[in-house]
Structure formats: C-alpha cells, structure tokens
Structure 1
C-alpha cells in the first residue's frame, strides 16, 4: 500500500495531479481544493494517498492532510459510498465542515455533493456521527455553521464560490470575513467582497 508520495509536480488537472517520483509518474485523483493548493510544476510536494485496487483498475487518491485522508477512509466505510462519492463530498465540504454537518444531522449540506442523494446522506449521518465525535474533527464552534443555513445570503454566496472552483475551506473563510464587514444586503455584494479576500490570500 502506498501511504504517501513525495516528488515533483509533473502537471496538474482539475481533479488529478501527476507526481514524478524518481522518474516514475503517479497519477493521483484529488479534490479541486487539493489541486488548488498544489505547488507549481517541478516543485516538490508530499501528498497522503490511498490506493484502491480492482480486477481491471488501480487508482490512487491523494490529500494534502492526514485529516482529509482519514475522513475519506471513514466515508468509504459507509455502505453505498464509493471513492468517487467520497471525493466529491470532500470537494464540497472540508473535514471539519463535514463533521459539523453530520453532528447537526444536516442532510441538505451533504446532498450538495453531486451524486449524493438523501438516502445516502442519511446513511452517512447514521453511521459516522459517533465516529466523528471520537475523532474530534470539529475545530470551530458549531454555532458558526448557522451563518450557512440553506437559503440565506451566506449559503448562496458559498454555493457561488464553490461553482467558481474555490475550495470549501477557503470559500467559507472568505464569506465569514465578508459577513464580518456587514456586507449582507444581497448575495452579489457578498460574493464580490468575498472574492476580494480570496484574491488577497493568493
């Protein structure tokens, strides 16, 4: 089993990266958030990985942190959740956000991930609620999640930023900062201010 890879970035794709490890190129499936954090081509990167081997296929899935990898493995343990669905969930929700959604039994937050229906979301909550509590993935007060209630300004702005390709974590931070300035009159204004924070973080 390949636990991690350390080598030079050969090239990146929206959902994958090829890492050159001593002349061998490993293609690793990643989330858009992970792809956005990767260094430039020819720079060295270390990425935590999990390999899935099937009769006719072999795939590597990679993450920038062990927390993301552990969350991915937990999701794979849920009946009906495959690697693609698990990766999609982590594309929409960072580990801490996913843990909060599960703790609050927020089915709507989980179904924002393409291909994750209500039944699968409910199963994820049922099977992982206690496991996430033991791992203590929730690093921020749960009440902060309230600003992202479905249908409010913050949640709509977050959806727009995710559609533009920003990672879940950085997008949430930008919206929170914009909300702190009192820019809550309308969604377009909130998105505009949040984008300024995202530009400054580059």
Structure 2
C-alpha cells in the first residue's frame, strides 16, 4: 500500500496531477477540495494516498489531509460507492460538509452530485451515520502536523509541458472526469465563466452552483 507521497508537482490537470518522487512520476487523482489546496507547479507537496488495484487498472488517489482520506476510505466501503464516486462526492462537498449532510440526513444536498440518487443518499445516511459521528473533520482543511503540503522551490528544469487547454476547457474536462455529463459540465462552467478566472476557480464556482 502506498500511503504517502512527497515530491515535486510537475503537472496540474484537474482532477489529476503528476508528482515527481525521486525521479518517478506518479499520476494521482485528487478530489477538488484537495486540488484547491495544491501549491503551484514546480513546488513540493506531500499527499496522503490510497492505492486501488483492479483487474483493468491501478489507481492512486491523493488527499491533502488525513481526515479526508479517512472519509474516502469509509465511503468506498459503503454499498454502491466506488473510488470514482467517492472522489466526486468529496469534490462537491468538503469532508465537514458531507459529514454534516449525513448526520442531519440532508438528502437534498447529496442528490445534487452525479451518481448519487435518492436511494443511494438514503443508504449512505443509514450506513454511515454511526461511522462518521466520531470522525474528526473540524480541521479537515488543515494538513496534519508535519505531513501537509510543504511549499519549496524546485528546479525549473523539472517542468513538464502539459497540453495547453484554456481555463474553460480544463474546467469542463475536470467536471466530466468527476462524473458530470458533458452538457451539464459545459453549462455550469459557462454560467460562472470570467476571463480572468483560473480553471480551479471555475471548477469551484461551477460545483457550488450545482449543489
């Protein structure tokens, strides 16, 4: 099990990144709540990780905080929730917001995320309410002491050129990767688009508009 990676951030193509760890490039998918907290390219970052092995793929998911990874691991044990849906849920809600939605049985907020229908939301409330009541997410936006992202300069020659997408195209692509239908993703991004907004800001605003 790969539980933690510390290295240089080479690419940011939300919701995926490429992380250089001592010369080895790891492709990691992050929920957008963690993606927003990343430093700039060519800076150092530490991620808590969860490694998923399937017959057709090996997937690595990354999280800025230990609490968010703990919630992800609880989610993927629930009936009908795989890693991709768990990542989508944690992109639409922070760990604290999701725990609050479960504890207060806020089905309306949960069904606004792709892949979460009314029956799934109701099942998550029943299955997770007891498991989440002791999960400490009060400081889930703050990295664990000594384990969060450390920001340091990295040699510029380590830069890898990513495909040059516009901020709008990158935001739409990220939402589709998270499970939203292309038409829904495009409509949501267009609704919050501004010329000076970064792709991360467009994704954040688009997700907020859909919740």
Give the TM-score taking structure 2 as reference length. Answer: 0.66
Instruction: Give the match for residue 180 of structure 1.
Output: none
The Cα of 1:164 is off from its aligned counterpart by 3.2
Match of 1:46, SS state, is: strand
Instruction: Give the match for residue 56 of structure 1.
Output: 56
Say if 2:51 is the partner of 1:13. Answer: no
The Cα of 1:56 is off from its aligned counterpart by 1.8
The Cα of 1:167 is off from its aligned counterpart by 7.5
Match of 1:134, SS state, is: coil
Q: Distance in 2 between matches of 1:36 and 1:138?
A: 18
Question: Which stretches of structure 1, 4 residues or longer, exceed 6 Å deviation after superposition?
Answer: 159-163
Give the TM-score taking structure 1 as reference length. Answer: 0.69
Instruction: Give the match for residue 67 of structure 1.
Output: 67
Instruction: Give the match for residue 143 of structure 1.
Output: none
Instruction: Give the match for residue 172 of structure 2.
Output: none
Say if 2:204 is the partner of 1:166. Answer: yes
Q: Is the 8 A contact 2:32 2:90 kept in 1?
A: no
Q: Is the 8 A contact 1:100 1:138 kept in 2?
A: no
Match of 2:133, SS state, is: helix
**Residue segments in structure 1 that go unaligned for 5+ positions in a row:** 140-158, 172-186, 188-202
Q: Distance in 2 between matches of 1:11 and 1:66?
A: 23
Structure of greater relative contact order (alpha carbons < 8 Å, 6+ residues apart) = 2
The Cα of 1:52 is off from its aligned counterpart by 0.3
Instruction: Give the match for residue 22 of structure 1.
Output: 22
Q: Distance in 2 between matches of 1:37 and 1:44?
A: 12
Instruction: Give the RMSD, CA atoms, in angstroms.
Output: 2.5
Say if 2:156 is the partner of 1:118. Answer: no
Instruction: Give the match for residue 87 of structure 1.
Output: 87
Q: Distance in 2 between matches of 1:81 and 1:118?
A: 14
